[in-house]
Structure 1
Amino acid sequence: MKINWAKKGFEEIGNIGRGKSRHRPRNDSVLYGGKYPFIQTGDIQSADFKITQFTQTYSDFGLAQSKLWPTGTLCISIVGANTAESAILGFDSCFPDSVIGFNAYEGELDNYFLKYYLELLKVQLKNISEGAARENLSLEKLLTFKIPWPPASERRKITRILSAYDDLIENNLKRIKLLEEMAQITYEEWFVRLKFPGHETTPLDSATGLPVGWNEAEITVISFINANSIKAKDAPETIKYIDIASVDTGFYQIPQIMSYAEAPSRARRKVNFGDTIFSTVRPNRKTYSLILEDDPMLVASTGFAVLTPKIEETFPFVYLTVANQSFVDKAVAVAGGAAYPAINQNDFEKIKIIKPADTLIKLFSDKVLNNFIAKNTLAKQNQLLKEARDILLPRLMTGMIDVEQLVLPEPFSNPSASTQEPQAV
């Protein structure tokens, strides 16, 4: 740390406090279903830098027993598996007392600076929260930390450099989302609303109500399920392991190489280019992704069903079929276990879908293929951007790279300038 950098506590640099959710029971339906986003620790964990999506909302009654925090607030999770995760609010929101909110005295850019510093502290923060029956960081523990605090001009420069990477990542994520939404819209137009090419002249089957050549069938009619698994005699030396925690809706983090001997026992499912992975554990969370890496080292957890298309190059149709809400609802319905709902392979294979004619499946897949190729290219760019940012982060935040005399080009992206429309998921 540079000599001219001070060390300050959280309360010296901003307002900090726990979220509020006073009403009991917490699951009372009267709290929910309104217009106020209600952010929870899982939303913080799944955010890349900014929280741009939410899964639940508060009603007016819910708001009355809580607090609405402003856009730009730094949110820090302090309870459970997501302890020490942090993200910036992209919209005004409420959150419970399992989340701490922070707003710097000198403006939103300092919230960004602190967010970056917390990335360096994450392992340490997790370590001090361990040992209890449930991981708990607590506000009191957090307030014991002293934060390296450069002069304002240096804080701004450090924040602007790092946020330039996050701005690019965020823009790519928006493009990725748009590409998939366009493919989903086409899927629903063709296969849900039945407005596929040639629908005007295709008669309906009087018995099924479906176009002639279509039928209701099990998911196995379009894909093999868990076709390739690692056998003990063929165990590789190294793998790239995709676990459930590394997958979100439509995305997965490219894994690092690890020794197979040290990998979890669930590292068994071989995955290949064009496969879809769908978490059979808590399917309501929509943990699925399309694999577009041609890497023989990729191995997924047995907590995933791996779907391999039976017709070559129809992976866009297979992926969008299981990503469709109707399939997710059916998966949730057959999941067993209240505390840990999961689907066994036999039940998964019996989930019914509407199967169009093979020629139409191929035509659709060809039409939207470029959307997924472009999406994969952008995802790879984001991976490289994250790696570059993560190399710079500790060097900037410890003063190893001196920014005092650095002149940044103008105009330079201001991370606080853009507003984010909240997106319900």
Structure 2
Amino acid sequence: MEFLTLESLCSEIIDCPHSTPKWLDEGIPVVRNYNLVDGHIDTSNLSYVDESTYLDRIKRAKPEEGDIIISREAPMGVVGIVPKGFKCCLGQRLVLLKVDRSKCDPQYLLYALLSNIVQVQIHRIDLTGSIVSNLNIPDMKKLLIPMVNENMDKVGGYLQSIDSKISNNNAIAQQLEAMAKTIYDYWFLQFEFPNEEGKPYRSSGGRMIWNEELQQEIPEGWTSTRLKDIIVENPKSKIKVSDVKNDGEIPFFTSGADILSTNESIVSGLNCYLNTGGNADMKYYYGEASYSTDTWCITAENETKYILPFVLNKIKPSMDKVFFQGTGLRHLQKNLLREYQFCFPDSNVVKEFSKLASDIFKKQHYLLEENEKLESLKQFLLPLLMNGQVTINEK
């Protein structure tokens, strides 16, 4: 197998501006280290600058479709590729690679940089003894890139097609989640669930009754209930976060932002996972899962379980102020949350909503399972394609 230096495969390798701009809530996106995720640019948490700052930051080079962005530190060696029509500039500690397309396909180079062959080289530089890991430009230029002899563009295209399928599945899963939330809001907050004629209940003249406990009007036949009356508390976990190796296929929920993985499940089906310490948060998941000692895992009986995530989701914005208390390290006050009072529908509405919600959760679960298989396939093929053990058939 032939190896060529990164420098020889690029027409330009341009360091980013070494200055922090004035951040704005909207404007032109700035790609920062944390936006580089698994070879793409994550646009869910972008920072922005104005037009004049953008023009100043692209004086050395303008990011264009197919350019690769690689981080020099914190962490070093993460990469992403600039998609079509994405106007952006670079934050600090990033480098822009202008790929010479007469020598290398940009998608191929992206996956080569993600491969263990190149990542090992990058992390060897971490052994230089410096306090902060830093991939400097001279060392970056010397990185040896494995070059397959033929069908280079097909290798990059094949791996990219797997990533595209994963992205599409994620987008569909997010749309399904948004759809479920919209239906819940429409039915349970605006009281526009279908009446006997299939028309929106409230706007079609459905009878509303004043509820003294909730201090509001609710549909006839609906009641006021407390969270403790519907939840089922799963057994307390004995697994500490420090004991989890993060090397399994089953999600492991903690009181932190990250979801780890393990090989043993505690629960299955639809469950909600609440932080009991640190920052207030609630996650829900359909499928086999496990959780840490500092995570409160709850569900509900029968069809009611499909309502619970949405009830808790509505509490989330106020959860930190209302239900987390204590001096120093604050904790979730479970008894307070158990007493939370809300409007509960009649059995027919519960049944109809559960049919819709369960179908959505099952579809989401299928998509996420498919993504796990696709990601495993990609990780299996990546080193084999890069070292030439596997080739892409011309047909």
Give TM-score scaled by structure 2 length.
Answer: 0.75
Unaligned runs of 5+ in 2: 196-200
Aligned-partner Cα distance in 1 for 2:332–2:229: 15
Residue 95 of structure 2 corresponds to 100
Aligned partners of 2:324, 2:8: CA distance in 1, in Å? 47
Quick check: 1:74–1:89 contact (8 Å CA) kept in 2? yes
Instruction: Give, in whole Å, the separation in 2 of the partners of 1:216 and 1:62.
Output: 54
Deviation at 1:361, TM superposition (A): 4.1
Cα distance between partner residues in 2 of 1:282 and 1:15: 45
Q: Distance in 1 between matches of 2:65 and 2:176?
A: 27
Query: Secondary structure, in 3 states, of the residue corresponding to 1:320?
Result: helix
Residues 262-341 of structure 1: matches in 2 within 5 Å? 270-278=266-274, 288-293=283-288, 298-302=289-293, 304-306=295-297, 308-322=298-312, 324=313, 326-333=314-321
Written as runs of structure 1 = structure 2, the 5 A alignment for 1:14-93 is 14-20=11-17, 22-23=19-20, 31-45=23-37, 48-60=38-50, 63=54, 66-67=57-58, 69-80=63-74, 82-90=75-83, 91-93=86-88
Determine whether 1:381 maps to 2:370: yes
Match of 1:229?
Answer: 237
Aligned partner letter, 1:211: I
Equivalent residues of 1:277, 1:291 under 8 A apart? no
Distance across 1 between alignment mates of 2:7 and 2:218: 64
Q: Is the 8 A contact 1:247 1:287 kept in 2?
A: no
CA contact (8 A) 2:39 2:78 kept: no
Q: Assess if the C-alpha contact under 8 Å between 2:68 and 2:98 holds in 1.
A: yes
8 Å contact from structure 2 (residues 255, 276) kept in 1: no
**Alpha carbons of structure 1 residues 138 and 224: separation in structure 2 relative to 1, 3 Å:** farther
Quote the Cα distance in structure 2 between the aligned partners of 1:402 and 1:206: 69
Asked whether the 8 Å contact 1:225–1:349 carries over to 2, the reply is no
Q: In the aligned structure 1, how far is the partner of 2:34 from the partner of 2:88?
A: 15
State the shift of 1:364 in Å: 1.8
Deviations along 1:214-268, one digit per CA (max 9) or x if unpaired, are 5485x55543456431389xx99x98562669977xxx67x3538xxxxxxxxxx
Q: Compared with structure 1, are the counterparts of its residues 230 and 128 closer, same or farther at alpha carbon in structure 2 (3 Å cutoff)?
A: same
Partners of 1:243 and 1:301 within 8 A in 2: yes
Q: SS of 1:369's equivalent? A: helix
| Maintained 8 Å contact 1:84/1:125 | yes
Q: Quick one: structure 1 residues 166 and 309, their matched pair in 2 at CA, closer, same or farther if it must change by over 3 Å?
A: same
Give, in whole Å, the separation in 1 of the partners of 2:277 and 2:125: 29
Q: Deviations over 1:136-182 (max 9, x none)?
A: 4444443331212345x531121122223223222222222222222
User: Which range is displaced more, 348-357 or 371-380?
Assistant: 348-357
Over the matched positions of the two proteins, sequence identity in percent amounts to 18
Contact 1:18 1:96 in 2 (8 A): no
User: Using the alignment, how far apart are the partners of 1:41 and 1:134 within structure 2?
Assistant: 15
Aligned position for 2:252: 242
Question: Equivalent residue for 1:146?
Answer: 144
User: How far is 1:77 from its partner?
Assistant: 3.4
* The structure with more radius of gyration: 2
Task: Look up the match of 1:203.
Answer: 208
- Kept after mapping to 1: 8 A contact 2:57/2:90: yes
Residues 148 and 304 of structure 1: CA distance in aligned 2, closer, same or farther (over 3 Å):
same
Alpha carbons 2:300, 2:308 under 8 Å: kept: no
Contact kept? 2:256, 2:279, Cα under 8 Å:
no
Residues 357-401 of structure 1, C-alpha deviations (whole Å, 9 max, x = no match) = 363444322222111111111211121122122211111101122
CA deviation after TM superposition for structure 1 residue 106, in Å? 0.8
Partners of 2:102 and 2:293 lie apart in 1 by 46
**Residues 233, 299 of structure 2: 8 Å contact kept:** no
Match of 2:198 in 1: none
Shift in alpha-carbon separation, 1:187–1:181, aligned structure 2, 3 A: same
1:344 aligns with 331
Q: Is the 8 A contact 1:179 1:375 kept in 2?
A: yes
Partners of 1:202 and 1:257 in 2: CA distance: 51
TM-score when normalising by structure 1: 0.70
Instruction: List runs of 5+ in structure 1 lacking aligned partners.
Output: 259-268, 409-425
Q: Which residue of 2 aligns with 1:422?
A: none
What SS class does the counterpart of residue 290 from structure 2 fall into? strand
More displaced 10-residue stretch of structure 1: 167-176 or 105-114: 105-114
Out of 158, 162, 166, which is 1:161 matched to? 158
Query: Match of 2:345, as an amino acid?
Result: A
